[in-house]
Amino acid sequence: MEQFIETFFSWENFKASIPSVIRGFTTNLSLMFLAEACVLVWGMVLALLRSARSRALLPLRWLTVGYVDLFRAIPGLVLIYMIGFGIPIAGIPWIGSWSQFQLAALALTILYGAYVAEVYRAGIESIHWSQTAAARSLGLSQGKTMRFVVLPQAVRRVVPPLLNDFIGLQKDTAFIGIIGVLDGFRRAQIYAGQHFNLTSFTGLALCYVVITFPMTRFTDRLLKRDQRRMAARG
Protein backbone atom coordinates (compact mmCIF):
# COMPACT_ATOMS: atom_id res chain seq x y z
CA MET A 1 0.00 0.00 0.00
CA GLU A 2 2.83 2.34 0.83
CA GLN A 3 4.39 1.72 -2.59
CA PHE A 4 1.05 2.40 -4.27
CA ILE A 5 0.69 5.75 -2.49
CA GLU A 6 4.26 6.69 -3.34
CA THR A 7 3.72 5.82 -7.02
CA PHE A 8 0.50 7.76 -7.55
CA PHE A 9 0.21 10.23 -4.67
CA SER A 10 3.73 11.40 -3.84
CA TRP A 11 3.44 14.95 -2.51
CA GLU A 12 7.00 15.84 -3.48
CA ASN A 13 6.52 14.63 -7.04
CA PHE A 14 3.15 16.36 -7.22
CA LYS A 15 4.68 19.70 -6.25
CA ALA A 16 7.52 19.21 -8.72
CA SER A 17 5.38 18.15 -11.68
CA ILE A 18 2.15 20.14 -11.37
CA PRO A 19 3.47 23.50 -12.71
CA SER A 20 4.60 21.85 -15.94
CA VAL A 21 1.42 19.77 -16.19
CA ILE A 22 -0.77 22.85 -15.75
CA ARG A 23 1.16 24.70 -18.47
CA GLY A 24 0.52 21.78 -20.77
CA PHE A 25 -3.12 21.56 -19.71
CA THR A 26 -3.69 25.16 -20.81
CA THR A 27 -2.91 23.89 -24.32
CA ASN A 28 -5.66 21.29 -23.92
CA LEU A 29 -8.08 23.98 -22.79
CA SER A 30 -7.18 26.25 -25.71
CA LEU A 31 -7.75 23.38 -28.10
CA MET A 32 -11.06 22.56 -26.43
CA PHE A 33 -12.44 26.09 -26.82
CA LEU A 34 -11.24 26.42 -30.42
CA ALA A 35 -12.62 23.02 -31.42
CA GLU A 36 -15.95 23.61 -29.66
CA ALA A 37 -16.50 26.88 -31.52
CA CYS A 38 -15.73 25.20 -34.85
CA VAL A 39 -17.85 22.15 -34.02
CA LEU A 40 -20.91 24.25 -33.20
CA VAL A 41 -20.79 25.86 -36.65
CA TRP A 42 -19.81 22.77 -38.63
CA GLY A 43 -22.34 20.56 -36.85
CA MET A 44 -25.11 23.02 -37.66
CA VAL A 45 -24.15 23.05 -41.34
CA LEU A 46 -24.24 19.26 -41.45
CA ALA A 47 -27.57 19.11 -39.61
CA LEU A 48 -29.20 21.58 -42.00
CA LEU A 49 -27.91 19.68 -45.02
CA ARG A 50 -29.19 16.38 -43.64
CA SER A 51 -32.57 17.91 -42.79
CA ALA A 52 -32.97 19.52 -46.22
CA ARG A 53 -35.97 18.35 -48.23
CA SER A 54 -35.12 20.04 -51.53
CA ARG A 55 -34.53 17.63 -54.42
CA ALA A 56 -31.65 19.83 -55.58
CA LEU A 57 -29.85 19.20 -52.29
CA LEU A 58 -30.44 15.44 -52.30
CA PRO A 59 -26.83 14.57 -53.31
CA LEU A 60 -25.46 16.76 -50.50
CA ARG A 61 -27.90 15.17 -48.11
CA TRP A 62 -26.64 11.67 -48.92
CA LEU A 63 -23.03 12.84 -48.70
CA THR A 64 -23.79 14.24 -45.25
CA VAL A 65 -25.33 10.93 -44.16
CA GLY A 66 -22.19 9.13 -45.30
CA TYR A 67 -19.96 11.66 -43.55
CA VAL A 68 -21.80 11.32 -40.25
CA ASP A 69 -21.81 7.52 -40.36
CA LEU A 70 -18.13 7.37 -41.31
CA PHE A 71 -16.68 9.72 -38.71
CA ARG A 72 -18.86 8.43 -35.89
CA ALA A 73 -17.25 5.05 -36.53
CA ILE A 74 -13.61 6.21 -36.42
CA PRO A 75 -11.93 6.50 -32.98
CA GLY A 76 -10.66 9.97 -32.11
CA LEU A 77 -7.14 8.71 -31.49
CA VAL A 78 -6.92 7.21 -34.97
CA LEU A 79 -8.31 10.31 -36.68
CA ILE A 80 -5.97 12.69 -34.83
CA TYR A 81 -2.99 10.53 -35.77
CA MET A 82 -4.02 10.28 -39.42
CA ILE A 83 -4.63 14.01 -39.82
CA GLY A 84 -1.74 15.14 -37.64
CA PHE A 85 0.83 13.15 -39.59
CA GLY A 86 -0.96 12.37 -42.84
CA ILE A 87 -1.78 15.87 -44.04
CA PRO A 88 1.81 17.23 -43.77
CA ILE A 89 3.16 14.09 -45.48
CA ALA A 90 0.58 14.34 -48.27
CA GLY A 91 1.46 18.01 -48.78
CA ILE A 92 -2.17 19.07 -49.12
CA PRO A 93 -2.28 22.74 -50.23
CA TRP A 94 -2.98 25.36 -47.58
CA ILE A 95 -3.64 23.05 -44.65
CA GLY A 96 -0.42 21.11 -45.26
CA SER A 97 1.54 23.92 -43.59
CA TRP A 98 -0.68 24.10 -40.49
CA SER A 99 0.81 23.53 -37.07
CA GLN A 100 0.14 20.31 -35.17
CA PHE A 101 -2.15 22.24 -32.82
CA GLN A 102 -4.24 23.48 -35.76
CA LEU A 103 -4.38 20.01 -37.29
CA ALA A 104 -5.54 18.60 -33.95
CA ALA A 105 -8.33 21.20 -33.88
CA LEU A 106 -9.27 20.19 -37.43
CA ALA A 107 -9.40 16.51 -36.47
CA LEU A 108 -11.62 17.15 -33.44
CA THR A 109 -13.89 19.41 -35.52
CA ILE A 110 -14.30 16.72 -38.17
CA LEU A 111 -14.95 14.05 -35.55
CA TYR A 112 -17.29 15.87 -33.19
CA GLY A 113 -19.03 17.69 -36.02
CA ALA A 114 -20.59 14.32 -36.90
CA TYR A 115 -21.86 13.79 -33.34
CA VAL A 116 -23.12 17.34 -32.88
CA ALA A 117 -24.86 17.25 -36.27
CA GLU A 118 -26.98 14.36 -35.01
CA VAL A 119 -27.77 16.24 -31.80
CA TYR A 120 -28.88 19.28 -33.80
CA ARG A 121 -30.92 17.10 -36.17
CA ALA A 122 -32.71 15.46 -33.25
CA GLY A 123 -33.58 18.91 -31.92
CA ILE A 124 -34.86 20.09 -35.31
CA GLU A 125 -37.02 16.99 -35.77
CA SER A 126 -38.43 17.34 -32.24
CA ILE A 127 -40.19 20.58 -33.21
CA HIS A 128 -43.80 19.79 -34.03
CA TRP A 129 -44.72 20.10 -37.70
CA SER A 130 -47.50 22.55 -36.81
CA GLN A 131 -44.83 25.16 -35.94
CA THR A 132 -43.52 25.00 -39.49
CA ALA A 133 -47.00 24.97 -40.98
CA ALA A 134 -48.03 28.04 -38.99
CA ALA A 135 -44.91 29.93 -40.03
CA ARG A 136 -45.38 29.07 -43.69
CA SER A 137 -49.04 30.11 -43.53
CA LEU A 138 -47.87 33.53 -42.33
CA GLY A 139 -45.79 33.92 -45.49
CA LEU A 140 -42.34 32.95 -44.19
CA SER A 141 -40.08 31.14 -46.61
CA GLN A 142 -38.63 27.74 -45.78
CA GLY A 143 -35.29 29.35 -44.91
CA LYS A 144 -36.81 32.00 -42.65
CA THR A 145 -39.02 29.40 -40.98
CA MET A 146 -35.98 27.34 -40.13
CA ARG A 147 -33.99 30.39 -38.98
CA PHE A 148 -36.58 32.22 -36.90
CA VAL A 149 -38.99 29.50 -35.77
CA VAL A 150 -37.44 26.03 -35.75
CA LEU A 151 -33.77 26.59 -34.90
CA PRO A 152 -34.28 28.84 -31.82
CA GLN A 153 -36.50 26.19 -30.24
CA ALA A 154 -34.35 23.26 -31.37
CA VAL A 155 -31.09 24.70 -30.06
CA ARG A 156 -32.60 25.40 -26.65
CA ARG A 157 -33.73 21.78 -26.41
CA VAL A 158 -30.35 20.26 -27.29
CA VAL A 159 -28.11 22.29 -24.97
CA PRO A 160 -27.79 19.44 -22.38
CA PRO A 161 -26.74 16.75 -24.92
CA LEU A 162 -24.40 19.27 -26.55
CA LEU A 163 -22.68 19.80 -23.22
CA ASN A 164 -22.31 16.03 -22.86
CA ASP A 165 -20.56 15.89 -26.23
CA PHE A 166 -18.27 18.74 -25.22
CA ILE A 167 -17.32 16.90 -22.04
CA GLY A 168 -16.20 14.06 -24.27
CA LEU A 169 -14.33 16.47 -26.56
CA GLN A 170 -12.56 18.03 -23.60
CA LYS A 171 -11.26 14.62 -22.52
CA ASP A 172 -10.25 13.66 -26.07
CA THR A 173 -7.86 16.61 -26.21
CA ALA A 174 -5.50 14.34 -24.25
CA PHE A 175 -4.87 12.45 -27.51
CA ILE A 176 -2.98 15.32 -29.13
CA GLY A 177 0.24 14.32 -27.41
CA ILE A 178 0.64 11.49 -29.95
CA ILE A 179 1.31 13.99 -32.74
CA GLY A 180 3.91 15.94 -30.78
CA VAL A 181 1.89 18.69 -29.14
CA LEU A 182 3.35 19.45 -25.70
CA ASP A 183 0.06 19.22 -23.84
CA GLY A 184 -0.72 18.12 -20.30
CA PHE A 185 -0.52 14.41 -21.08
CA ARG A 186 2.82 14.73 -22.86
CA ARG A 187 4.34 16.79 -20.03
CA ALA A 188 3.08 14.29 -17.45
CA GLN A 189 4.55 11.48 -19.52
CA ILE A 190 7.94 13.19 -19.74
CA TYR A 191 8.05 13.75 -15.97
CA ALA A 192 6.99 10.16 -15.26
CA GLY A 193 9.69 8.84 -17.58
CA GLN A 194 12.37 10.93 -15.94
CA HIS A 195 11.43 10.19 -12.33
CA PHE A 196 9.79 6.74 -12.60
CA ASN A 197 6.74 8.03 -10.76
CA LEU A 198 3.14 8.46 -11.97
CA THR A 199 2.06 11.25 -9.65
CA SER A 200 2.28 13.66 -12.58
CA PHE A 201 -0.61 11.75 -14.19
CA THR A 202 -2.57 12.06 -10.96
CA GLY A 203 -2.10 15.82 -11.22
CA LEU A 204 -3.26 15.75 -14.84
CA ALA A 205 -6.32 13.69 -13.90
CA LEU A 206 -7.12 16.25 -11.21
CA CYS A 207 -7.00 19.04 -13.83
CA TYR A 208 -9.58 17.20 -15.95
CA VAL A 209 -11.76 16.53 -12.91
CA VAL A 210 -11.76 20.22 -11.95
CA ILE A 211 -12.98 21.14 -15.44
CA THR A 212 -15.35 18.23 -16.05
CA PHE A 213 -17.26 18.08 -12.75
CA PRO A 214 -18.78 21.59 -13.02
CA MET A 215 -19.79 20.91 -16.64
CA THR A 216 -21.42 17.64 -15.60
CA ARG A 217 -23.36 19.22 -12.75
CA PHE A 218 -24.46 22.09 -15.01
CA THR A 219 -25.69 19.59 -17.60
CA ASP A 220 -27.66 17.70 -14.94
CA ARG A 221 -29.22 20.96 -13.78
CA LEU A 222 -30.31 21.84 -17.32
CA LEU A 223 -31.81 18.37 -17.80
CA LYS A 224 -33.82 18.65 -14.58
CA ARG A 225 -35.03 22.12 -15.57
CA ASP A 226 -36.21 20.79 -18.93
CA GLN A 227 -37.97 17.90 -17.23
CA ARG A 228 -39.79 20.26 -14.89
CA ARG A 229 -40.81 22.46 -17.82
CA MET A 230 -42.14 19.48 -19.78
CA ALA A 231 -44.02 18.21 -16.71
CA ALA A 232 -45.61 21.64 -16.22
CA ARG A 233 -46.76 21.71 -19.81
CA GLY A 234 -48.18 18.20 -19.47
Quote the mean pLDDT of the chain: 89
Q: What is the pLDDT of residue 233?
A: 62
CA distance 162 to 43: 11
Residue 57 is classified by DSSP as G
pLDDT in tens, 51-79: 887 788 889 999 999 999 999 999 999 99
Is the pLDDT score of 107 beyond 60? yes
Measured distance CA(55)–CA(62) in Å, rounded: 11
CA dihedral 123, 48, 106, 36 (to 10 degrees): -30
Whole-number pLDDT of residue 121: 92
What value, to the nearest 5°, has the Cα angle with vertex 222 and ends 231 and 215?
Answer: 160
- The residue ranking higher by pLDDT, 10 or 144, is 10
Query: According to the model, what pLDDT value does residue 231 have?
Result: 66
Q: How far apart are CA 25 and CA 177, in angstroms?
A: 11
For the chain, what percent of residues have pLDDT higher than 90?
Answer: 56
Instruction: Say what the pLDDT of residue 218 is.
Output: 81
- Measured CA to CA, the distance from residue 106 to residue 90 in angstroms comes to 16
Q: What is the pTM of this model?
A: 0.88
pLDDT at residue 207, as a whole number: 94
230 pLDDT above the threshold of 80: no
The residues near 113 (Cβ < 8 Å, ≥ 6 apart) are: 38, 39, 42, 43, 46, 71
pLDDT at 94: 86
CA dist., res. 140 & res. 135, Å (int): 6
pLDDT above 90: residue 2? no
Q: Which of 33, 4, 111 is nearest to 68 (CA)?
A: 111
Per-residue pLDDT of 114-161, as tens digits, reads 999 999 998 888 888 888 888 888 888 877 888 888 888 888 888 888
**How confident is residue 197, by pLDDT bands cut at 50, 70 and 90?**
very high
